[in-house]
Amino acid sequence: MDKIKTYVEGLDGRMDGGIPPGHIVLVCGTSGSMKSTLVYSMLHKYVQEGLGTALYISLEQNKDSLITHMAKLGMDIKEVEDKLTIMDMGWLRTELRDVAEEDELKWFDSLQTQIENYKRNIDYDLLVLDSLEAVFTIANLQNPRNDIFLFFEKLRDLGITSFLISEMPQNKRIFGSYGTEAFLADGIIHMDMERTGTSVGRFLSVVKMREVKHATDYFPLLVDKSGFKIVTK
């Protein structure tokens, strides 16, 4: 089957053309590492090429802010709005502050139901969930290993390729809040940052990608209005 391209210049050729369809991929990094921008760029270019449809679920950044930010990087939602749906669920976290614990579990079920309903209605191929930590806050998981396993299996059953954004703590190489996510995921893309003096450099590595022969180097990462690019020797 055709791979799902990352559209990062220089990267897809180093991972057999891209990501196998149906994979669940963690996109990990600390705040400011451009995780959301990377995955949005992938979705935008995927639907712009007429390859399918996509759903971006945000529990962190509101829809208008997300659209404005991406437009400044050359990705105008008007070019793809018939193929790329942005679902803003930030309100969900606000409402959860005043609900009982048992209702939080219902909200998690509601989120999964929304994902399934959107699949039936718009039959999307790619899903982004921003972020996984926000989902865990909603879920208030009682048995994380089992609950995450079941959630991932529901995503697999939909036959989609999923990108789950995962916020990493500063100075720690933990890909996921519980560790279970990294084991269950088919792929891990790590976006790292390194400060040298007053400058901050960004780096990208494909730490894990099942069924794909790929480089595991940390490549310097550049971004402008034309998209992302890794610097290779």
Work out the angle at residue 119's Cα, subtended by the Cα atoms of residues 40 and 79, and round it to the nearest 5 degrees: 40
Is residue 174 classed as helix, strand or coil in its secondary structure? coil
Domain ranges of the chain: 21-191
DSSP letters for 31-58: TTS-HHHHHHHHHHHHHHTTS--EEEEE
Q: What's the pLDDT tens digit per position in 94-150?
A: 665 565 555 555 777 888 888 999 999 999 999 999 999 888 887 778 888 998 999
Q: What is the mean pLDDT of the chain?
A: 90
Q: Which one, of 161, 102, 113, 111, lies nearest residue 132 by Cα?
A: 111
pLDDT band at 198; cut points 50, 70, 90: confident
Overall fold of domain 21-191: Rossmann fold (3.40.50)
